[in-house]
Amino acid sequence: MYEPPKLTVDDGYEALRGHVVDKALAARKKHGPLADERAVQALLADKDVVRFPTTLAFDASRLQPGEFAFAASNGLRPADGFTLFVHPHFEHRPEALPLLVGYHIPTINYLDVVTNREAELYGAALLGLTVEDYYARLCALADELGGPAIPEPELPVHEASSTQRCACGSSVGGCGGGGRASGA
């Protein structure tokens, strides 16, 4: 008699991580280097890359102190779209924008199932960096804004409380994924 495999949450996250990297590599191949805001806007407008409509706003009004970006839901459903609020400090920093935006794409696409690990994998693959180099660059950008230190533990968003936030907008460890994007 056939017994289906007993899959675990870890198996699910491993599959998600493979999918996240594949999607980032496809986006990189299609959009090439993300050298400026126009290229990032084109990436965000591509429905093959970003699942839900997303606009970019250089506006700190929805950010917490020290936070560099936050993907806010525009309504009650993901299909209502998102606004990706990026700290105005980075508005004229074309080299920083792909790093900041790339981290938030998995949160927009997969909502609250992603952790900082998926966000880091996606951003690194999108930009052709190692995960360690990508994370170091994000931390350096977060440090420019001051604010709380960035914690390292990995927690799924659904297990993190809204008070466990890093300097970049995440309610999980890392530099700005997960967190509030699906509705706060």
Task: Domain of residue 157: give its range.
Answer: 27-182
Give a yes or no: residue 135 inside a domain.
yes
pLDDT confidence band for 148 (50 / 70 / 90): low
Give a yes or no: residue 5 inside a domain.
no
Give a yes or no: residue 48 inside a domain.
yes
Give a yes or no: residue 80 inside a domain.
yes
pLDDT confidence band for 146 (50 / 70 / 90): confident
Confirm if 170 and 128 have CB atoms less than 8 A apart: no
Give a yes or no: residue 84 inside a domain.
yes
Give a yes or no: residue 117 inside a domain.
yes
Give a yes or no: residue 12 inside a domain.
no
Read off the pLDDT of each residue in 66-75 and give the average, rounded to a whole number.
Answer: 94
The dihedrals phi and psi of 148, each to the nearest 5 degrees, come to -70, 155
Q: Could you write out the three-class secondary structure of the chain?
A: CCCCCCCCHHHHHHHHHHHHHHHHHHHHHHHCCCCCHHHHHHHHHCCCCCCCCEEEEECCCCCCCCCCEEEEECCCCHHHCEEEEECHHHCCCCCCHHHHHHHHHHHHHHHHHCCHHHHHHHHHHHHCCCHHHHHHHHHHHHHHCCCCCCCCCCCCHHHCCCCCCCCCCCCCCCCCCCHHHHCC
Of 121 and 155, the one with more pLDDT = 121
Read off the pLDDT of each residue in 84-102 and give the average, rounded to a whole number.
Answer: 96
Give a yes or no: residue 2 inside a domain.
no
Instruction: Give the count of domains, the chain.
Output: 1
Confirm if 44 and 50 have CB atoms less than 8 A apart: yes
As given in the structure block, the two tokens for residue 59 are 């506006």
Of 27 and 177, the one with more pLDDT = 27
